[in-house]
Amino acid sequence: MNTLDTQTFHSIGRLQQALRSGQLTSQALVRQQLARIECFNPQLNAYVEAYHERALAAASAADRQRQAGIDLGPLHGIPVAIKDLFDVQGRDVTGGSRALAPRRSLSTATAVSRLERAGAIVMGKTHTVEFAFGGWGTNAVMGTPWNPWDRQVHRAPGGSSSGSAVAVASGLASAALGTDTGGSVRIPAGLCGLVGLKTTRGLISRHGLIELCPSLDSVGPITRTVEDAAWMLDAMLGADWQDPVSCRAPVFSAAAGLHLPVTGLRAWVLPHAERVNVAAQVLAVYDRSLLVLQGLGLHLVEQPLPVPLEHCMRVAGGLMSAEGYASLGSLFERDDLTFDPHVRRRVLAGKGIDASGYLALQQQRRSARAAMAQAMLNVDVCVFPTHAVGSLPLAEIDEYGTPLALLGRFANLLELCSVALPAGFDGQGMPVSIQVVGRAFAEPLILRVGQAWQQATDWHLHPPCGWALADAEVA
């Protein structure tokens, strides 16, 4: 692997150092990643569409700005990938579906426009589970992205932000934007060995996003490091009148407090009653991770959950189906169109949830949120596994099972924030992840714990092997 190809796997922080010192240009970085997309995307299937001319023009502009002494911050000249649920003006958006012709966006989603305003370069749109309704990352109509940690066997990339995670993990982007309704940022980040930040609903505007479940949907970054995630969050957060939910969110800098101490923080660990649903190899990595956190000065707290994770998963799943059917039901009931059969089943399940059933689900959610808020008075954060099982070969996936949702949906249902962190590997050499969970709008705190974790470990520094690009392959 040549030096420039190696740099495509560097963190935003390291890339920015090279850009500011003149050792690297944004044009060179973008050309390298476009070459990697050309070479590897046929197998990886991370991108729906790469914006070659648009990205190169933006890279050239970033280089000229830098030469003129203009520095827009840590994202200036950095290539990012966008999940194919967000509008980008003048570009198609499909939502991971072929049921209807792609829609040409008339404007750009607020989160994307704020990234561009901070100097980020949009490389293109990445694949998603159809309308973001699935945790394995599979898509029967547009193809399932390939988890790059196994070059020979097609394994689950995690979903629904599957292409975004695969693009970053395989060096086809330096960071990516995803959405999280029940784990859809954290699960693919976890299965692909990356950092995934599930933000508090409303912290980042959802304007210009194809939503699945407005009660639970949130926007978040997928990156190599916690620091990178904090920079992306700082660029995107803030009120947007086009998303009224965002107007209640506070404004802060997540990056500013990353290096504050974590000694003395109380971390709620996964209760024994919940461990029975987690694979042994995942638990082994998780338990070793807890020892590292203890070494950092965190106090581990064992107490039962006020509401079982399985109950949270069922309530959240009901809300997803009910709200998904409300917006997509008339489309998915058509017999003349082609859908992912498993997504169709999940959407049509909402048809049986009437108004009283929906209100009952919302009441259960309110009760669970109140109980969790009371229980978290004893702790500062929770530290749980991100996923209950590792990445499975596609041939072994049971689409009727939801093991990846067990440790994901509760954070959305209870309006918590969470960051997934690379923590090791299972017996098949596939990434295993832990997540640090905090109260609503506690992103600075959970990212501070995540930063301390990455200062003490090096799991985030290991890219997948077998994806080197020869010099001759760069245009």
- Would you kindly state where each structural domain of the chain is located, as residue ranges? 3-307+367-473, 309-365
Q: How far apart are CA 309 and CA 287, in angstroms?
A: 19
* d(C-alpha 346, C-alpha 197), whole Å: 25
Per-residue pLDDT at 474 exceeds 60: no
Spatial neighbors of 199 by CB under 8 A, at least 6 apart, are: 180, 218, 219, 220, 233, 237, 417, 443
Q: Which residues pair with 384 in a beta bridge?
A: 435
Could you please report the per-residue DSSP string of 9-34? TS-HHHHHHHHHHTS--HHHHHHHHH
Read off the pLDDT of each residue in 82-90 and give the average, rounded to a whole number.
Answer: 98
Domain 3-307+367-473, what architecture?
Alpha-Beta Complex (3.90)
Which residues share a beta bridge with 16?
Answer: none
The share of the chain scoring above pLDDT 90, in percent, equals 98
Which residues belong to the active site? Answer: 83, 160, 184
Paired with 267 in beta bridges are 300, 381
Report how far residue 28's alpha carbon sits from residue 372's, in angstroms, rounded to the nearest whole number: 49
Instruction: Using a cut of 0.95, tell me whether the model's pTM lies above it.
Output: yes
Tens of pLDDT, residue by residue over 201-249, are 999 999 999 999 999 999 999 999 999 999 999 999 999 999 999 999 9
pLDDT for residue 2: 80
Model confidence at 431: pLDDT above 90 = yes
pLDDT band per the 50, 70, 90 thresholds, residue 310: very high
pLDDT higher than threshold 90 for residue 37: yes
